[in-house]
Structure 1
Amino acid sequence: MAKKSDKKHKDKIPNKVYEAEIFRLQAELVKVQQWTRATGARIVVIFEGRDAAGKGGTIKRITEYLSPRVARIAALPTPTERDKTQWYYQRYVAHLPAAGEIVLFDRSWYNRAGVEKVMGFCTPREYSRFMRQTPIFEEMLIEDGILLRKYWFSVSDTEQLRRFRSRMDDPVRQWKLSPMDLESITRWEGYSRAKDEMLVHTDVPASPWFVVESDIKKHARINMINHLLSTIPYTEVAHEKVVLPDRPPASTGYVRPPREMSTYVPDHVAELRGDPEKHF
């Protein structure tokens, strides 16, 4: 009998198929970007889910070929003491898109429904008010013309734990393992109940939640991006064909300053190759 992990590996999409499809989807996202700029559309995409559920990797693939002037990532830090005295949604409103912009919220106002609820960072009254006001708040955004999409990345407890362990000894990913992440391991059921209650109150027809199964990251990325594209009424925007101009005739009279007058970055690559002489 094959092990569950073996079956999971067998069911994974082949790398060549994944690379071809993710690139096709990214090309479509570029079309969405051009359509957004041309029409003045405003798009907000919310990414929520448990720690290590694959939100960051998906966001990275979405923005890989997009202009940071059009597509921005909003990943807000822990609220300051001043932030805590403001209207709860205020610091998020400041990051909403203007015409021709796309904003991806790497966690959002739904922090109150998740970590703040489970960890006791908000009062029962604040939590109850959030659940009552959020559908109204989001309806206001939608009525004003914002295209709002909400995605919940769902990961199993065993897969989450595996990803946490893989980060522990990884020098480039250790920073992703925060004390809050470790705390979430012992509060799995608490977060599950909080997620279920959040969906009851905020999964409404005008602003529905879409759940992304993310135990296999590559599948989650393709499924989420493909669905997002299917919900945006974009069309391909015609643009002028780019033609490279001919170089002008060789300049007369220009002499480049001696290289010795500039300070160059050391040729570390030459050291790696073991070149006897370094050349710039």
Structure 2
Amino acid sequence: MRVDLKSLAAEPAVAGVKDKVGRKVYEEELEKLQTDLVRMQQWVKQSGTKICIIFEGRDAAGKGGVIKAIMERVNPRVFRVIALPPPTEREKSQLYVQRYLPHLPAAGEIVIFDRSWYNRAGVERVMGFCTEEQAQKFLASVGGVERAIVDSGIILLKYWLEVSPEEQTRRIEARIDDPKKVWKLSPMDVLSYERWYDYSRARDAMFAASDTGWAPWYVAQSDDKKRARLNILSHLLSKIPFERIKSEKVKLPKRQKAGSYVEPDQPLHRIPEPF
């Protein structure tokens, strides 16, 4: 299902704006959306709702930036980000999705997978880390696994971030030249960069097999990172039927009196103050 997230959002993030989103507009809209994320968090915690959000996409498509925008103002005890390392030898011998299942949300939790079990349909298939037979078996079974997840009461949202080849090249070259970003560029990114159309074929096969009525894919074009973040957050909020929870206004009590306590002359280890 190839969709424009703006058409799905209850209130399009930046309606009528076709050029790249400017910083002022972005920050204003992001503040509103992050406020609603905090409200949603309160409702999720009180209602015991379980939410699982999957982010997949091209290398350098901006998954990390979207996740950062979500996590910036919320409670990490309610929102958890799962980014699993490569499987151990023991995990390789397990049912493929088995190592992901313990991370699914319990009541009052929101789990974000920064890449997920769809590694098998993408990087593992394209880079030869699994056999074609293993990839096909995964695609044949993943719909049933996700049906079981949804039937257990978990709200499952799957997002794919798509970027143009030109913009991907620009971002990867920027990582090479920027010492603050070079850590983002793994050897696997370099190896996979040339296999654009192998990834396109793998993506198309993944959509065909796993875009279901109970767990559809939502696709965001992310050449404009700011627009993509706003649209995804807006769409995410529109898919969760949360209600605003009224909370009592906090009133600070008076501090206790010092009594016999005396501040020491100087902390044991004072840090330097170069500024």
Equivalent residue number for residue 177 of structure 1: 185
Q: Following TM superposition, by how much is the alpha carbon of 1:139 offset from its aligned partner in structure 2, in angstroms?
A: 0.3
Contact 2:127 / 2:192 at 8 angstroms: preserved in 1? no
Equivalent residue number for residue 229 of structure 1: 237
Structure with more relative contact order (C-alpha pairs < 8 Å, separation 6 or more) = 2
Within 5 A, what are the aligned runs for 1:48-127? 48-127=56-135
Equivalent residue number for residue 152 of structure 1: 160
Equivalent residue number for residue 4 of structure 2: none
Within 5 A, what are the aligned runs for 1:24-35? 24-35=32-43
Structure 2 residues not aligned, in runs of 5+? 1-17
Q: Aligned letter for 1:31?
A: R
SS at match of 1:16: helix
Q: Does 1:39 align with 2:47?
A: yes
Q: Following TM superposition, by how much is the alpha carbon of 1:49 offset from its aligned partner in structure 2, in angstroms?
A: 0.2
Q: Give 1 or 2 for the bigger CA radius of gyration.
A: 1
Structure 1 residues not aligned, in runs of 5+? 1-9, 270-280
Q: Does 1:255 align with 2:262?
A: yes
Query: Residue 273 of structure 2 is aligned with which of 257, 267, 274?
Result: 267
Q: Does 1:187 align with 2:195?
A: yes
After TM superposition, where is structure 1 displaced by more than 4 Å over at least 4 residues in a row? none
Q: Aligned letter for 2:127?
A: M
Whole-angstrom CA distance in 2 between matches of 1:128 and 1:134: 10
Q: Following TM superposition, by how much is the alpha carbon of 1:200 offset from its aligned partner in structure 2, in angstroms?
A: 0.4
SS at match of 1:201: helix
Equivalent residue number for residue 273 of structure 1: none
Q: Aligned letter for 1:253?
A: S
Q: Following TM superposition, by how much is the alpha carbon of 1:264 offset from its aligned partner in structure 2, in angstroms?
A: 1.2
Contact 2:21 / 2:224 at 8 angstroms: preserved in 1? no
TM-score by length of 1: 0.90
Whole-angstrom CA distance in 1 between matches of 2:37 and 2:165: 32
Q: Aligned letter for 2:230?
A: I
TM-score by length of 2: 0.92
Q: Following TM superposition, by how much is the alpha carbon of 1:96 offset from its aligned partner in structure 2, in angstroms?
A: 0.8
Equivalent residue number for residue 274 of structure 1: none
For the aligned residues, what is the CA RMSD? 1.1
SS at match of 1:12: coil
SS at match of 2:100: helix
Equivalent residue number for residue 211 of structure 1: 219
